[in-house]
Amino acid sequence: MKDKALLALVALGLLLALQPVSSAHAEGCSVSQQLIGGCTPNVSGNLNDGSAVLEGTAGSPGSGAGGSGAGDDGAASTPIDPNAQCVIVVAGRCLYAADHGVQVQPITLADIAAFRPDPGVDNMEPNGWMIVGLDTNFFATDGTQIKDGTLLGQPASVRFTPVTWRWTYGDGAAASLGTAGGTWGSQGIEEFDPSPTSHVYRAPGTYYIDLSIDFTAEYRFGGTQWIDIAGILPVAANRLVATAGDAKTVLVERECTKNPGGPGC
């Protein structure tokens, strides 16, 4: 067996055989290092010889002989890429230094001013009117949106996610809720039942109901991972105008033929 091993050694070439195994080692090199910058023999011992080795190992192993004696016993040192700390540099600006796990000069909401989420739509049940003393159900239709555009001169995408729904009901009351709500039907409850987003008006009259939806934003360049943008972007939804009456007014004085959207119709 030893003979075969020796034969294998010889087969590697005269050059190899001429050199003691122990003097040809360099330090270990991870696959990741090899992929990024290449694994190089130890260059810390002698810079000039090291350079020669680097050139030699690029594709012509025979020339490695010239550098094989250099600095084998020196300490392993990996050249530091001056740009290594900054992962994302756009327009000369270091956006993300992953070595520190932080955003250095982060993208702000001001940077993405050209990206706007579609405003949500405020809805109400019953549609356009309410009964004093009973719950009126408000709900928004919106959702996560991805907008493509240009950020710092680079093609980028911004993803908006609604997180808070702020209703002002026009009667002096307001609510900031963590849900967009839904129709009575979708929630499996009866009309005029309380819902997480319902409101009770106490007096007849005409009310203007406004909704503002807070969005969080993230951005990315290309198809890579999303990066958070600090802050909240409030976007106004449509204004609802509705009339509140007492039960007698709205239920008795309206007929289904004239008001097909009325309760019980």
The whole-angstrom separation of Cα 120 and Cα 107 is: 24
Binding to other proteins (CB under 8 A) within 118-137 occurs at none
3-class DSSP state of 39: coil
Residues 188-247 that bind other proteins (CB under 8 A): 220-225, 227
Binding residue for other proteins (CB under 8 A) from 1, 75, 80, 91? 1
Task: Report the nearest approach of other proteins to the CB of residue 103 (Å).
Answer: 11
Q: How far is CA 69 from the centre of its chain?
A: 50
Cβ–Cβ < 8 Å for 110, 234 = no
The three-class DSSP label of residue 229 is strand
Q: CA angle, corner 250, sides to 246 and 251, nearest 5? A: 105
Rounded to 5°, the CA angle 123-256-246 comes to 65
| Contact range with other proteins by CB under 8 A, out of 48-56, 195-203, 233-241, 245-253 | 48-56
In whole angstroms, the minimum distance from the beta carbon of 173 to other proteins comes to 45
Residue list 2-31, contact with other proteins (CB under 8 A): 4-5, 8-9, 11-13, 15-16, 19, 21, 24-31
In the complex with other proteins, which residue's Cβ is closer, 146 or 227?
227
What is the total residue count of the chain?
A: 265
- Cα radius of gyration rounded to whole Å, the chain: 35
Site map (CB under 8 A) of other proteins, residues 160-199, x = contact: ----------------------------------------
Distance of CA 52 to the CA centre of its chain: 45
Residue with smaller CB distance to other proteins, 55 or 210: 55
- Shortest separation between residue 215's beta carbon and other proteins, angstroms: 22
Residue 60 burial (CB count, 10 A)? 9
- The CA distance from 263 to 256, in Å, is 8
Residues 75-114 that bind other proteins (CB under 8 A): 81, 84, 87-88, 90, 96, 98-99, 101
Nearest approach in angstroms of CB 247 to other proteins is: 59
* Residue 154 engages other proteins in binding (rule: CB under 8 A): yes
Is the bond into 260 cis (omega within 30 degrees of 0)?
Answer: no
Cα gap 250→215, rounded to integer Å: 37
| Contacts to other proteins by CB under 8 A | 1, 4-5, 8-9, 11-13, 15-16, 19, 21, 24-41, 53-54, 56-59, 61-65, 67-68, 81, 84, 87-88, 90, 96, 98-99, 101, 154, 220-225, 227
